[in-house]
Amino acid sequence: MRKASAPPAIGTSGTPRPGQWVQTERKAHEAWAGLIARKPRAAMLLHHLVAQMGQQNAVVVSQKTLAKLMGVTDRTVRSAITDLVAERWISVVKLNGPGTVSAYVVNDRVAWGQPRNQLRLSVFSAAVVADFEDQEEALLGHSDLRRIPVLFPGERQLPTGDGEDPPSQPALPDMEPDLPAIHAESVDPETGEIFELERRGQQRLID
């Protein structure tokens, strides 16, 4: 028989662990129950969107792919999206004009930047869901991509190693242009994502 651990002292901060209870709003439960009864396809779609977005607030996916995930027609997906928008479950950000690829945002609002040269943009994180059958065969079997360095604050790029084969013309020493870089301060350190990016990019020198 497993021995129960002693309860933490009063006032001790709890450590979040998967599988514990999470407090939710009763209004949301009642609204969700009503949605399932009135608009079952919309409720099904919302389940798929939330499952695909993971910890992100948004997911980018085509209506064709959503239809395949749900086992329904594209028209049913469009109707379900309309219902979810009308009842304020999601917001939709079009990514290709009048096309069918959009970002579906759950539980958050999309912030649009101030106009610059008559162009207003919004930048946000989203999971992307792509269908294998939609890809071009020539692009699926490519080799490893060229490496993009990860720079921490105060670091500079130091080109090393051999250049490309002729007829490529090497740059003069210390005159090589910097590569586009991923800045470490823009990556959430709690997720450990920076270490994965560094593994794929150039390695740094250790003193």
Domain range summary for the chain, segments of one domain joined by +: 26-134, 145-160+176-207
What is the percentage of the chain residues whose pLDDT exceeds 90?
17
Q: 108-158, pLDDT tens digit by residue?
A: 777 777 766 667 777 778 888 888 887 777 666 656 666 667 777 777 777
Q: What does pTM read for this prediction? A: 0.62
Q: What is the pLDDT of residues 40-68, one digit of tens each?
A: 999 999 888 888 886 678 889 999 999 99
What is the model's pLDDT at position 161? 73
Q: Is the per-residue pLDDT at 38 higher than 60?
A: yes
Q: What is the C-alpha to C-alpha distance for residues 185 and 190, in angstroms, rounded to an integer?
A: 12
Instruction: Answer whether 184's CB lies under 8 Å from 178's CB.
Output: no
Q: Which CATH class is domain 26-134?
A: mainly alpha
Q: Of 154, 144, 143, 146, whose CA–CA distance to 204 is shortest?
A: 154
71 pLDDT more than 90 = yes
> Greatest CA separation found in the chain?
73
Report the chain's C-alpha Rg in angstroms.
Answer: 24
Categorize the per-residue pLDDT at 36 as very low, low, confident or very high, splitting at 50, 70 and 90: very high
pLDDT at 106 over 70: yes
151 exposed, middle or buried (CB, 10 Å; 0-12, 13-18, 19+)?
buried
> What per-residue confidence (pLDDT) applies to 30?
86
84 falls in which pLDDT band (50, 70, 90)? very high
For residue range 12-29, list pLDDT tens digits in order: 545 544 445 656 678 888
CA–CA separation, 159 and 176 (whole Å) = 8
- Residue 18: per-residue pLDDT: 46
- Spatial neighbors of 24 by CB under 8 A, at least 6 apart, are none
User: CA dist 197 to 136, 141, 159, Å?
Assistant: 26, 22, 19
